[in-house]
Amino acid sequence: MVPLCLREKMRNYYSEALRINASLMFKLLSARRLRFYGKKAEVGWMAWQLQVINGMRYYHSQLLAGLPWLVHGFSTRWEQRGEVWIDFNLGYGLGESAEVTEHRRRFFALFQLTAGQVHTVKQVHGDEIITVDNINANGELLEADGLMTNLSGVGLATVHAD
């Protein structure tokens, strides 16, 4: 799961639509070997820092962190509760479930977003990028390969197989 959100205070400084195609980043990840240094992974020019908050694990890009108007995170499939590892599935690939809904709520909360603020795309392996022009996501799963918006407070998420 890849949530991205424009910070409110930067909205006036960024008027053109933001093109986000997270699948491109994941293609880079799959095309090259990851080199791990403790909790840091590097892929070519991108450096990834593992973050763990309340057992939830996600990666934070040092490259994207340089954009002051962007909040981002790349989730992992696992959550740690004490000594136990839990499947932290965030995708509705097998249908909607209360467990996935709760996982998504908790993960989006890390970025100060509610599920109603996050637009999610189902990847179709095409070339369509959807412009999000409405703050309320209404739980709709959009079919495309990328999302873009110029609205602040809107989460954009793509789901990828691990």
- pLDDT score of 21: 39
pLDDT tens, 44-93?
Answer: 555 788 888 888 888 888 888 888 888 888 888 777 777 888 787 777 77
Give the residue-averaged pLDDT of 31-40. Answer: 44
Domain segments of the chain: what residues? 4-158
pLDDT range class, residue 19, cuts 50, 70, 90: very low
Strands annotated E in the chain: 4-6, 18-20, 35-37, 40-43, 46-53, 56-61, 70-72, 74-81, 84-87, 118-122, 129-131, 141-143, 146-149, 155-158
pLDDT tens, 116-133?
Answer: 888 888 888 888 888 888
- pLDDT score of 33: 40
